[in-house]
Structure 1
């Protein structure tokens, strides 16, 4: 059996398999630590700076050991990249015959039963969806995996997708007539048989939440669990350990009942009427909130008379629907399952109506057409600590951005991982030579109206000096739109603006045009890997403090205050530091990259907490002079 050194040394197994592989001490150190943690069934938290090669550093120990491993990534794109590119490389280099499997969430797999329900003449399908259904049927006859990602002709948000995939709510499970041929069941069986399973965080925590209620187990038991992009976990886990109910779920349930009434239970008109009443009341509830999407405090909203009245109406309508469904139980498997959905919806609504609960945040968000009510625990530490301790196994948490103020305390406290081993590894890049950090002089205050003019001047100057090839990252959609409109008039470079098309399409267009400029918010602060001279400048409009209006953040702030703590230091600064590190990490991705990071926020110079932010950024040369920036950018080929 090869050792870690055999894999990573100069003439080692990876060097034989990968052209241009260069050994890095930090990568080898991480691989050894991961190997030990898995072997000893311990928890390990690793911050691996950009360029460390953390993916190979955790994959090699997995393939060297005999343990069954789950690897969880931040997004589906990273999941695909890991499974189709990195994992086969390491497997081949180590001559491993361990079985691997890719497992996605259920909404990624075709549901044969639901496709069958939507016959060609379904009156519930909008006309523009019918040709999408035709494309799906043609593909359904040839696919082996049922993975909807194979259907390249469908847009990511195609309206047909919810009609041909299942949800936890509408899946019939073993009662489904298509159970034996179910693509999701096959994917899960493959995962059960595999030694290494690649999932994503949402899927992992959906399973953890399901286990907790005793309904089943999606992800097979494993000896080692590895989280890549682990900085995302606290927020994702909080969502899954809470409850939520949306008007969309209620309307989908009503539509499914109407479909049953029109096709199978034609004598059960009362079902259709009760379902329609729920659908209308849910739609009217959404109308009590502003048309533009927003987030707010649900406990406060419930104290409005009109909201309280409508929620009471919804509860009463669900009760009637429950009683009518109960009368027809046993007549049809789909109906029996919808009855269970009605029961769960009633239970959730009861939990979401109690606005005097403690230890949780009650909040809501609206989309253009729907209202989603949430109950989120303020802390998941105790719950997660239990999962990590029983049964004993290796838990690895890694990301390029976990440390704040040179320590892991913030992440450890949020996750209940105070006992975990920690390892901080610097990036191998020579930031002093490769990069420049600039906080321009004479910046107005962050909330000043004058800042927009200054941002516009700086952006225009940077685009000119870098000849395009830059990312302008914003902390709000409002500023993104204002800046895009002003730059459109002022520069000739192609402007690619987040929201105009998909993230993948924007990146493809950016890489195809040397003069392009990309303007983005949250989605482009992380998970984007542009190397070489395609990206030489990143401008950030201001420090990414979360909006104080966010109801979940507000509840956490109040909670810290009640306990006598300082919420700004305990919550807001650490989260902003991690987000800023992510944005800054877009700039230098390779040992030969060069570039400038410009942060247009004078608080990095004037505030006492500035040193926490600056110390967390890579050790770049610093300047406040835009002439120095111009000169640096002009020298980059």
Structure 2
């Protein structure tokens, strides 16, 4: 069966969906089709408005239908998963059914913990959250009501997918009715195996042309000896700029006294009193150790730590071996579920302690593959000390488990740092070569910029406050606050303020509310989605916040004319993982600051600047109130990562431009 080529299918899809041809979209679609056909990896930077989802879905669907192979599409956010499965794919499948001579199929697949577990629900096995003792009477009452609603919902839902539950429930309540993959007793032995929502989702996914999943599932599939995702040869990674952080998060483990206490309670009556008591004692020793130790990275184990961690490791192993044989799940589902949950928690904690001890056996610090640090987590009105371990790099994992076995398409609006793809390619485990097409055969991948429909120099101004003093640690300078007032006033409100910390966002909100006549919303005042809705609805309203707003806001139209950035978003100097990565680059003769800190800042700065233009009719200003962008040696490197806005350091010129936009909006 001969199918139409990619350009013809894309044209059919665009026509059927009522769109217009886009040069960048066609170029990207052809490049994706070529990469799949020639079995090489592809990194595509596709700016807002390019139509990148359609550009990778059309060649992916063509390949799936033509070859009979499943294509995996991985995203970083639930919002994009929903957009793909609820809007893009249903419409695209309908549009391409005739030219493909077959109706394309698709499914969404998430981790097991996202689905209702019927066995846990009916067995009544409570989840023992390590933070349970922090709950008050209101929390427990709310949890009881929510679990009751979940029981009722279990009879009505066809998917058991948490995201299909509206309104949602708290994480604590959801954990009462869900299990992780390690906690699952297995479909073959589970009395509800035939009706299991997670298994039904996997079966549907296995029969589909396109599977939509997330980066976390991709990581779990890469690391697990078991088959998590159905067999596939092509993977499309959207929001690829977040891939490394998401996979690092999945591979980060933690040890705390609360974890040990949770394991002890889960083991409950499964082990004898002496074994249980020994484990409790090990947890108390760990708590004393962590309370007496300094926060931050552990280059060496503190005094007493090797003995305490080794004792915890051994007592966890003894407790695990003391658990009796598994009861029949059919005869006693509650006991089977409780046993599996206890074993899962014990194994996980034991393996993490072993991983920490093993890392410190390597005396040569530059040869270590993990980073260990102690942090203090704030929970309500208390704090808790947690020892964490994370991989120094995930490049090796990605190179051997993802790029070796699959053809991978990586795409995002921001993939080039300093003008090319090399910085991100290295973090993915791909050889750096600038992404040039001529080097594809040798390196196994190419990069391309699909461009953008925006006329950046005519649509937006990049203003750098060169005259301002560099930001320090003593809060926002008065001169910077004055600059914010002038810019916001010229813009008539309509400002998205992106700050490097929540403390700075709150400080600016508090001080500027007294000085401007516009409403200022601050992240944390309400749910972020609700704040964005209010910001969009009232043109004069301003919205201030931190990290999630740098990447998660899509507000086209006159409600957003000014994106105001308080400082270059370098990582915190006390971030243990990034500091260790920077140190490793320096030790190998590289520039750790540029490779880690500057790349981190460049990527986030590009994401923040990308909030301004969301449609071709948008106009406005990105104002960076950090003079270092204009004066520091690394400024040019960061600027090369931003769109080609018209640039100025003249405050009068930028205020005048904003005033003209405001006057024009008022007259229209």
- For normalisation by structure 2, the TM-score amounts to 0.85
Are positions 1:333 and 2:360 aligned together? no
* 106-115 vs 246-255, greater mean Cα deviation: 246-255
* 396-405 vs 614-623, greater mean Cα deviation: 614-623
Whole-angstrom CA distance in 1 between matches of 2:447 and 2:412: 12
Are positions 1:511 and 2:524 aligned together? no
Deviation string, structure 1 residues 60-94 (Cα, Å, up to 9, x no partner): 11122234210001111211112111222222222
Paired residue for 2:46? 48
Local SS of the residue matching 1:471: strand
Whole-angstrom CA distance in 1 between matches of 2:200 and 2:378: 36
Whole-angstrom CA distance in 1 between matches of 2:262 and 2:531: 32
Deviation string, structure 1 residues 72-126 (Cα, Å, up to 9, x no partner): 0111121111211122222222225111001122222111222224389x99993
1:328 to partner: Cα distance = 5.8
Pairing partner for 2:161 from 124, 144, 147 = 147
8 Å Cα contact 1:242-1:377 kept in structure 2? yes
Are positions 1:168 and 2:193 aligned together? no
Q: How many residues align?
A: 614
Is the alpha carbon distance of 1:119 and 1:407 closer, same or farther for their aligned partners in structure 2, counting shifts above 3 Å?
closer
8 Å Cα contact 2:93-2:105 kept in structure 1? no
Spell out the pairing of 1:108-507 with structure 2 (5 A cutoff).
108-118=114-124, 126-155=140-169, 157-174=170-187, 175-210=189-224, 214=225, 216-241=226-251, 243-245=253-255, 249-258=259-268, 261=269, 296-300=296-300, 302-305=301-304, 311=309, 314-315=312-313, 317-325=315-323, 327=324, 332-334=335-337, 336-337=339-340, 338-339=342-343, 341-354=345-358, 355-357=360-362, 358-369=368-379, 370-391=384-405, 393-418=406-431, 419=443, 420-447=445-472, 449=474, 451-507=476-532
Whole-angstrom CA distance in 2 between matches of 1:283 and 1:136: 36
Spell out the pairing of 1:555-570 with structure 2 (5 A cutoff).
555-570=580-595
Q: Which ranges in structure 1 are unaligned for 5 or more consecutive residues?
A: none
Whole-angstrom CA distance in 1 between matches of 2:603 and 2:123: 46
Whole-angstrom CA distance in 1 between matches of 2:482 and 2:151: 53
8 Å Cα contact 2:466-2:631 kept in structure 1? no
1:510 to partner: Cα distance = 1.9
8 Å Cα contact 1:40-1:394 kept in structure 2? no
Deviation string, structure 1 residues 167-188 (Cα, Å, up to 9, x no partner): 2342222333322221111111
Is the alpha carbon distance of 1:230 and 1:472 closer, same or farther for their aligned partners in structure 2, counting shifts above 3 Å?
same
Local SS of the residue matching 2:166: coil
Q: Which ranges in structure 2 are unaligned for 5 or more consecutive residues?
A: 329-334, 363-367, 432-442
Deviation string, structure 1 residues 384-415 (Cα, Å, up to 9, x no partner): 22234543x42101111111222111112221
1:287 to partner: Cα distance = 5.1
Is the alpha carbon distance of 1:6 and 1:340 closer, same or farther for their aligned partners in structure 2, counting shifts above 3 Å?
closer
1:312 to partner: Cα distance = 5.3
Paired residue for 1:82? 84
Whole-angstrom CA distance in 1 between matches of 2:326 and 2:15: 64
Whole-angstrom CA distance in 1 between matches of 2:376 and 2:452: 41
Paired residue for 1:13? 12
Whole-angstrom CA distance in 2 between matches of 1:142 and 1:597: 48
Spell out the pairing of 1:50-65 with structure 2 (5 A cutoff).
50-65=48-63
Local SS of the residue matching 2:500: coil
Paired residue for 1:31? 29
Q: CA RMSD in A?
A: 2.9
Is the alpha carbon distance of 1:634 and 1:389 closer, same or farther for their aligned partners in structure 2, counting shifts above 3 Å?
closer
